[in-house]
Amino acid sequence: MVPQAVELSGDRATRIGPLSTTPATFRKVLHPMCMAEKLKKSDEQWRQQLSPEQYQITRQAGTEPAFTGKYWKTKTPGTYVCACCGHPLFDSETKFDSGTGWPSFYQPTRPENVSEHTDSSHGMVRTEARCAHCDAHLGHVFDDGPAPTGLRYCMNSASLELKEKK
């Protein structure tokens, strides 16, 4: 099955044709075989599972200070998974030094693993990245990344766990 590019609007997705690898359409990809039911937990369950920092960042859309997270300069090979649910998000091979002080990747392990939402907070409009499985806030996506996607997924270390390659 060929992945399809879709136009996202609110909770609706409209198929617009075969996948293109341009930055504008790369992040609008859904694969129908990978649309899993979202993990739902109560606020109290998240508070019990996560550290105070992880809770504030992942469940309340916080941001850790630049150059302070445990993964901003890590070069260890492996897969970065969601700190809340363990869903695979990014491969270390797509990580790059953006100079921003946050771990940055040019693409997720699979486009459907990271959902994107408009974030109008703090007097600006940005694209928020969330775990598609549990809705954890991960960080933001910008159109100033390297090839092949032209995207920079600027993530909070507290939103991630690195599963090292053995």
Closest residue by Cα to residue 38 from 5, 82, 7, 92: 82
Torsion of CA 8, 14, 17, 21, to 10 degrees: 10
Residue 85 located in a structural domain? yes
Could you tell me the two tokens for 19?
């996948």
Number of domains the chain contains: 1
CATH code of residue 132: 2.170.150.20
Tell me if 5 is assigned to some domain.
no
User: Partners of 4 in the beta sheet?
Assistant: 18, 30
Is residue 23's pLDDT more than 50?
no
Radius of gyration of the chain (CA): 15
Q: Are 140 and 91 in contact (CB under 8 A)?
A: no
User: Which entry of 82, 84, 131, 154 is annotated as an active-site residue?
Assistant: 154
In-domain check, residue 128: yes
User: Distance (Å, rounded) from C-alpha 83 to C-alpha 49?
Assistant: 10
Report the C-alpha gap between 111 and 29 in whole angstroms: 6
Is 150 a member of any domain? yes
154 in active site: yes
Residue 16 covered by a domain: no
Tens digits of residue pLDDT in 109-161: 999 999 999 988 888 899 999 999 999 999 999 999 999 999 999 999 999 99
In a domain, 15, yes or no: no
Cα(142)–Cα(60) distance, rounded to whole angstroms?
Answer: 21
119 domain residue, yes or no: yes
Q: What is this structure's pTM?
A: 0.79
Give the structural domain span for 151.
38-164
- Judge whether 19 lies within some domain: no
